[in-house]
Amino acid sequence: MPATATEKTFEKLTVEVSDHICTITLNRPEVYNAFNDQLSFELQDALKQAARDKDVRVLIITGAGKAFSSGQDLGDLKDRYVPGYVPEFSKDLDRRYNPIAKLIFNMDKPVIAAINGVAAGAGCSIALVCDLRIASTYASLIEVFINVALIPDTGSTYILPRLVGLAKAKELCFTGDKISAEEALKLGLVNKVVEADQLMDEARAMAKKLAAMPSRGLALTKRLLNQSFDNDLDSQLKAESFAQDTAGKTQDHFEGVTAFLEKRKPEFTGK
């Protein structure tokens, strides 16, 4: 879909919107979609744009070529790493990567990662922070940070133990071992594994299913599930009560109940 006057255009990724689905494709295939400054900021802008777009109900993030994303583009650092150089990663994370993780995690719309190849480092973290993950048989995930004496970032230390448990998360982060798509499925890191030529069809089928559902109900459910690990039961019950009040006042709730009583398929509008 061509950009309107209020939309940004991008050089290092592509954005397509159709059937209420926004597909964002990281597009630096020559470096396995590694993140440089431009790609980092363009992905932030694309996520913000999709969050604002009322026509968008679901997002898909994938990569062009053979990789989802190999993480930070280390080639960009070549000229910096000379004796005496002292990196300041916290500023870089706050400026480039942490906003991406927060935008995906806090977005009211479901985000699907279509993992077409390797997802390493920050690329792995971005795949994990998405709500659902569909992987190609060629995909792999690697918490590669330890191999350059760094710690997992961009949300990995928060998301990974919640997906696989603390012991397995420590193993993956301590060793930096590559996880195949099939092993990722067994561990619960991905929701489904499909043949490479079926990946985007499967991702779009899932996205279409979600796009046809009551978007306000999905947004509230995502928010409750995301905060559940940090709440005690009493706090979560209160949050559920508030969210249920909100959901119950939507037109989609009325449509859902009416459709059930009339024995027909509901037509949700997101209102």
- CA dist., res. 31 & res. 225, Å (int): 35
**Complete domains list, the chain, with CATH:** 13-211 (3.90.226.10), 215-261 (1.10.12.10)
Taking only the tens of pLDDT, the chain with its 271 residues reads: 444 434 678 999 999 999 999 999 999 999 999 999 999 999 999 999 999 999 999 999 999 999 999 999 988 777 777 787 777 889 989 999 999 999 999 999 999 999 999 999 999 999 999 999 999 999 999 999 999 999 999 999 999 999 999 999 999 999 999 999 999 999 999 999 999 999 999 999 999 999 999 999 999 999 999 999 999 999 999 999 999 999 999 999 998 999 999 999 999 988 8
Instruction: Give me the DSSP letters along 182-219.
Output: HHHHHHTS-SEEE-GGGHHHHHHHHHHHHHTS-HHHHH
The two tokens of residue 53 are: 């777009």
Question: Is 15 in a helix, a strand, or coil?
Answer: strand
Predicted model pTM: 0.93
Diameter over CA atoms, the chain: 74
Confirm if 181 and 138 have CB atoms less than 8 A apart.
yes
- CA dist., res. 124 & res. 258, Å (int): 43
Confirm if 249 and 214 have CB atoms less than 8 A apart.
no
Q: What is the pLDDT of residue 6?
A: 46
What's the alpha-carbon Rg for the chain, to the nearest Å?
19
Beta strands 178-180 and 140-142, pairing class: antiparallel
- CA dist., res. 158 & res. 240, Å (int): 23
Q: What is the pLDDT of residue 5?
A: 39
Q: What is the pLDDT of residue 67?
A: 98
Q: What is the pLDDT of residue 7?
A: 62
The two tokens of residue 200 are: 């985007």
CB contact burial 120-145 (16+ within 10 A = b; e otherwise)? bbbbbbbbbbbbbbbbbebbbbbbbb
